[in-house]
């Protein structure tokens, strides 16, 4: 039986989004867990039950799956580069897919990263729902055996009992801050004329000759302010949205889920003495601090050591976004949000940035890397700002302690509907 014919999938696709928002809660008690403190102490009488491939496939797709072609109303017909027409379940600034979804459970640790769409609206019919499992089978790669170790001493004591325990799945969005950074510098410095001043070192940020020549006429902006605003918004937003999407779908499926954040993100990347984590490669910056720059061959940042220098990295970014096979290039063969004949009439003759803009971005990014030994100057190349655990609920705990209505019909019926258990 295909997933489109399964009753649980049909019910899930009918679940109202507003109801998911109204009913969403952090429900923290997994099957098989033991909370042996406080006046609500409880030991689950049942064994842990991990998520099935069907449950995992749907949750992964809801956070990071492909959905079809994006619109790009403000850039489609202009000579500005568009990274890709491929849309994902979670929005990304400028549609640059800088966040990859990792997850860990009893079966190992994986990265989920589908990239290809076949039509403008990918999941349009009931039959299209079969693709959700195709993505999971073909675009989910195991990166290591066993659960990712999170280290109990770094987790608040009140959370150790249920975090990353048997039967649970932890979804981990890893953010590439460098690609977003380069793209933003193109937009607000090279195109918008921002005159960024390094207030940390109290010196110019590699842009003085372009200011003197009159190429940069925009507002004067402090480097610390520029980077902090990007970190709070542009860099991390997709990770939070990705986790909220999975959170809401877990609610609709009748699963428990809870979000976490904190220093453990750096431990999970593997840049502390506590262990290898996800195995990300780190380099030392000018102050000797470890900076995670990539998972070799899987998720590499636009900076050294994957590129000779920042000039080389910027050239690679420009080639990706404005080369002949890019989204607006003459050799592009992928899905479009337009009829092909119409696209031929509005496609810009070129989407490559003028050389002066490229030179501005190279000068600025080169300054940042040469001065700080990292890009961005004030944050890591890769980061994990938040993560989400999903699990099957120990319903007896909630029935004993909570008022009627705190557990939903979907949660009460989940094991019967999704697993065939009475």
- 161 vs 155: CA distance, rounded Å: 10
Structure tokens at 98: 């800088």
Residue 355 has pLDDT above 60, yes or no: yes
CATH classification of the domain holding 357: 3.40.109.10
C-alpha to C-alpha distance for 152 and 163, rounded to whole angstroms: 9
**Using 50, 70 and 90 to split pLDDT, how confident is the model at 359?**
very high
Q: What's the whole-number mean pLDDT along residues 138-148?
A: 95
Integer Cα distance of 351 and 76 in angstroms: 10
> Binning pLDDT at 50, 70 and 90, where does residue 160 land?
confident
Average pLDDT over residues 211-239: 92
Q: CB of 113 within 8 A of CB of 65?
A: no
State the greatest distance between any 2 C-alpha atoms of the chain, in Å, as a whole number: 75
Specify the pLDDT at position 82: 81
Query: What is the average pLDDT across 383-410?
Result: 94
> Which is nearest to 58 in space by CA: 173, 138, 169, 135?
135
Of 89, 50, 56, 100, nearest to 295 by C-alpha is 100
Q: What is the pLDDT of residue 349?
A: 84
Span 296-352, pLDDT tens digits: 999 999 999 999 999 999 999 999 998 888 888 888 888 999 998 898 888 888 889
What is the secondary structure of 91-136 as a DSSP string?
--GGG---EEEEEEETTEEEEE-----SSSBSS-STGGGHHHHHHH
The rounded distance, in Å, linking the Cα atoms of 170 and 252 is 18
pLDDT at 1: 66
Amino acid 276: pLDDT: 87
| Domain residue limits at 238 | 3-419
Read off the pLDDT band of 416 (50, 70, 90): very high
User: Number of structural domains, the chain?
Assistant: 1
Q: Is the pLDDT of residue 121 over 60?
A: yes
Residue-averaged pLDDT of the chain: 92
Which residue, 103, 132, 414, is CA-closest to 253? 414
Average pLDDT value for residue range 36-51: 92
Q: Is the pLDDT score of 29 beyond 80?
A: yes
Measured CA to CA in angstroms, residue 404 lies from 16, 303, 353 at distances of 21, 54, 60
Is the bond into 64 cis (omega within 30 degrees of 0)?
Answer: no
């Amino acid at each position: 039986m295909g997933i489109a014919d399964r009753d649980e999938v049909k019910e899930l696709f009918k679940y109202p989004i507003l109801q998911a928002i109204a009913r969403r809660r952090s429900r923290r008690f997994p099957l098989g867990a033991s909370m042996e403190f406080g006046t609500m102490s409880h030991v689950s009488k049942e064994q842990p039950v991990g998520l099935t491939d069907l449950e995992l496939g749907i949750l992964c797709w809801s956070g990071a799956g492909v959905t079809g072609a994006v619109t790009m109303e403000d850039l489609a017909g202009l000579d500005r580069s568009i990274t890709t027409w491929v849309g994902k379940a979670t929005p990304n600034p400028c549609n640059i897919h800088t966040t990859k979804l990792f997850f860990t459970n009893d079966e190992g640790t994986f990265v989920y990263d589908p990239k290809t769409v076949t039509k403008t609206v990918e999941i349009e019919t009931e039959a299209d729902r079969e693709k959700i499992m195709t993505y999971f089978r073909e675009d989910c790669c195991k990166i290591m055996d066993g659960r990712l170790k999170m280290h109990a001493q770094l987790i608040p004591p009140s959370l150790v009992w249920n975090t990353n325990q048997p039967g649970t799945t932890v979804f981990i969005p890893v953010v590439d801050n460098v690609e977003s950074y380069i793209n933003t510098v193109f937009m607000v410095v090279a195109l918008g004329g921002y005159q960024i001043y390094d207030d940390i070192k109290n010196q110019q940020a590699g842009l003085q000759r372009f200011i003197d020549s009159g190429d940069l006429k925009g507002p004067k902006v402090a480097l610390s302010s520029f980077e902090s605003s990007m970190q709070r918004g542009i860099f991390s937003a997709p990770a939070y949205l990705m986790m909220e999407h999975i959170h809401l779908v877990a609610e609709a499926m009748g699963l428990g889920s809870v979000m976490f954040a904190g220093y453990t993100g750096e431990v999970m990347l593997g840049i502390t003495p506590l262990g290898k984590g996800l195995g990300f490669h780190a380099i030392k910056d000018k102050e000797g601090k470890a900076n995670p720059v990539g998972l070799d061959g899987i998720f590499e940042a636009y900076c050294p050591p994957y590129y000779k220098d920042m000039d080389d990295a910027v050239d690679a970014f420009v080639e990706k976004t404005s080369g002949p096979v890019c989204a607006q290039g003459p050799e592009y063969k992928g899905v479009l949000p337009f009829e092909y004949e119409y696209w031929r009439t509005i496609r810009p003759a070129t989407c490559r940035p003028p050389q002066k803009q490229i030179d501005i971005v190279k000068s600025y990014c080169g300054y940042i890397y040469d001065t700080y030994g990292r890009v961005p100057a004030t944050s890591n190349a890769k980061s994990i700002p938040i993560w989400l655990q999903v699990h099957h609920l120990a319903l007896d705990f909630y029935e004993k302690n909570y008022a009627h209505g705190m557990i939903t019909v979907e949660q009460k019926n989940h094991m019967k509907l999704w697993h065939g258990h009475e």
